[in-house]
Structure 1
C-alpha cells in the first residue's frame, strides 16, 4: 500500500509536470499506467473424505450337543423296624411293704388302804368330878387313826414297736425280652443319560474401528492480488 501511495503521489506530480509540457514546457519525467492481474496457483492437499468410526458386529452364539447324567429318582433312606419281643412271666410282687407300727399299753391302777393319823396324840385339859369335886385335869389324849384309800400304779404303761411283715402276691406280667431295633437302608439314586443342546460360545458384540478415509484434492489459491500502478517511460523528444 505504501508503494501504491508513493506511485500515486508520483503520478500526481507527473501530471503536474506534464501539464506544463503540454503547455509548452519541458518534460522532466514520463509515466504510464501499469495493471498487474492477480496471480493464482494450483495446490494439492489431503482432505478428510470419511471420518473414523466404530461399528458393532454381532457374532451369533454357537451351539453344540453334550451328554449328561440326570437323576430320574433321587436316593432315599428307608427305615426298617424290627418290633420288640415280649414274654409273660410270673412275678412275686409286693402288695403291701413291711412297716413298723408303734404300739402302747396304758398303766394299770389299783386301790390300797393305809392307816393314817386322823388326829395326832396330844395333851389336853378336861373337867372331871373327883370325890364330888369338879376339877380341871390335865390328860393325855391318844392319837386317832383312820383308813384312807389311795390309788397306786399296779402295772406301769409301756410302748413298743411292732413290725408288720410285707404282703406279697403272685402276678403274671408281660416283660420286654428284646427291644425294638431300627435299621436305615439307603437306596441309591436312579439316573439316565440325556443328550441336550448347549451353548458352546455365547452371542457377543465385537466393536470394530473403521479408520478415517482421506483423498488428494486440488484447488486454486490466489498467490497475489490484482494491482494497479505506474511505471516511468522514456519518450524521445519528450522525456
Structure 2
C-alpha cells in the first residue's frame, strides 16, 4: 500500500498537470522533498589464493665406495725341464791272459836249466759306464700370481624426488554492494504544510 503511495507521488511530481500549492492557491495538505538514500554494503568473507601450488625436485647424488679386490695377474704355468740321463762308472775284473804252462830257461847256480813253469792268469780292472737313470722331462710348476686392486663400487644409486607445495589461501574481508544509492521522496514538516 505504501509502495503504491510513493509511485503515485512520483507520477504526480513529474506529470505536466502537477501544479504547486502556490500556483493553485490552495492549502498544502502534505509536503515532500527529494532525498538520496546512500548505498547499502555488506561485509563478506572471501577465500583468496595467496600462492599457487608448486613443486620442486630434490636430487640425491649416487653414493660410491672403494673396495679391494684380488685379481689374477698371471695364471699358473707348468713348464718342463729336460733331465739328462745319469751314468755311473762300474769296474769289473777282466781276464786279460789265461793261466798257462810253459818252458823257460833259468840260471840256477850258474847253470842253464830248462824249467816247466806255470804262469797264472792275468786280470785287469776295466771301468764301464752303466745307465743309472734314463733321460726324462721334469714338470716345473709356477704358481699363479695375484694382486690387489682398489675399485669404485656403487653403494646407492642417484635418486630424484618431487616435493609438492600445496596452494596457500587466505580469508579476506571485502564489502559488496547490497543496494545502490537511490533518490526518494520524504515528507517534510514545514510551516504551511500539514503532515
- Give SS of 1:35's match: strand
**1:44–1:217 contact (8 Å) kept in structure 2:** yes
Structure 2, unpaired ranges of 5+: 81-140
Aligned pairs (5 A) from 1:73-112: 73-74=74-75
Aligned residues: 132
Match of 2:11 in 1: 9
- Give SS of 2:20's match: helix
Match of 1:61 in 2: 62
Out of 172, 176, 187, the position equivalent to 1:221 is 176
**1:14–1:30 contact (8 Å) kept in structure 2:** no
Match of 1:173 in 2: none
Q: CA RMSD in A?
A: 3.8
**2:58–2:160 contact (8 Å) kept in structure 1:** yes
Structure 1, unpaired ranges of 5+: 81-185
**2:35–2:186 contact (8 Å) kept in structure 1:** yes
Structure 2 residue 151 is the aligned partner of structure 1 residue 204: no
Q: Which has the larger radius of gyration?
A: 1
Q: Cα 1:219–1:43, aligned 2, differ >3 Å: closer, same or farther?
A: same
TM-score between both structures, scaled by the size of structure 1: 0.43
Instruction: Map Cα deviations across residues 49-92 of structure 1 (whole Å, 9 max, x no partner).
Output: 1111110111122122223232212467x698xxxxxxxxxxxx
**1:14–1:29 contact (8 Å) kept in structure 2:** no
**2:28–2:192 contact (8 Å) kept in structure 1:** no
Match of 2:85 in 1: none
TM-score between both structures, scaled by the size of structure 2: 0.51
- Give SS of 2:26's match: coil
Q: Cα 1:58–1:29, aligned 2, differ >3 Å: closer, same or farther?
A: same
**2:44–2:175 contact (8 Å) kept in structure 1:** yes
Match of 2:51 in 1: 50
Match of 1:191 in 2: 146
**1:11–1:230 contact (8 Å) kept in structure 2:** no
